[in-house]
Structure 1
Amino acid sequence: MNLTQTEVLEQCAKMCKNTLMETLEISFCEVGKDYLVAKMPVTPRVHQPDGVLHGGAMVALAESVGSAASFIFLNAKDFYIRGIEISANHVKSVKQGYVFAKAEILHQGRTTQLWDIKIKDEEGNLISIVKLTTIALPKTK
């Protein structure tokens, strides 16, 4: 990664325009040498009927941050990044505030990548643990 943290976060923000990430108000807020963090507000628009954060919204957050991390860390200008498998364990519910998803690489192959994504609330409580496998598909000209 040859970009500054600010440049990476700006690039991620541009990728979100007119997408599900924009609809869910997902924003990227931190990047390090081997991780990327995104946050999402917990409001009624991402609740399930009983007023807690919907598991599907958490999975969308996790896939968004993991796929963006693959794109950033693989320098994938010549590749399409796609999620090919995702598994989530939701361990605690949350009703309001923000949740933060931190994607960290477990395996970085040329074709497939395995991400560990932990979703936590504002107090640092673990909300969900997600494993995401992405694939880098070459763009054809």
Structure 2
Amino acid sequence: MKPPSSRPSVLFVCVHNAGRSQMAAAFLTHLGDGRVEVRSAGSAPADAVNPAVVEAMAEVGIDVSAETPKVLTVEAVQASEVVITMGCGDACPVFPGKRYLDWKLDDPAAQGLEAIRPIRDQIEARIRGLLGELTA
């Protein structure tokens, strides 16, 4: 167990770690301003972050162009207090004592910028709510 003074930690998981989980991690990192430890991973990571996701995030002033999809590990789940899944099904290991949330969001894979913007905005709204809970 971590001491109560430590930062809360959140892991975002989607299949490819190239869209939703990258946007969520970027928003929490940006809006959390160092108050939250942030991780993201995928059960079957892609080779790169979706270029349309990179463009959509750049529109709101967040650069994810240097991010790379990461494979989901048991260690990442164990090191996180909150695990938020976004369409990874049963691929995410479950451990007692963790808080699990499943955010139902459209998959931005193979979508254009017009389709990704509303997904991005839904993620931002959810991150703002989550941040309020974690740092209250």
Same topology, TM > 0.5? no
Using the size of structure 1 for normalisation, the TM-score is 0.29
Larger relative contact order (Cα-Cα within 8 Å, sequence gap ≥ 6): 2
Greater per-residue helix proportion: 2
Query: Rg: which structure is higher?
Result: 1
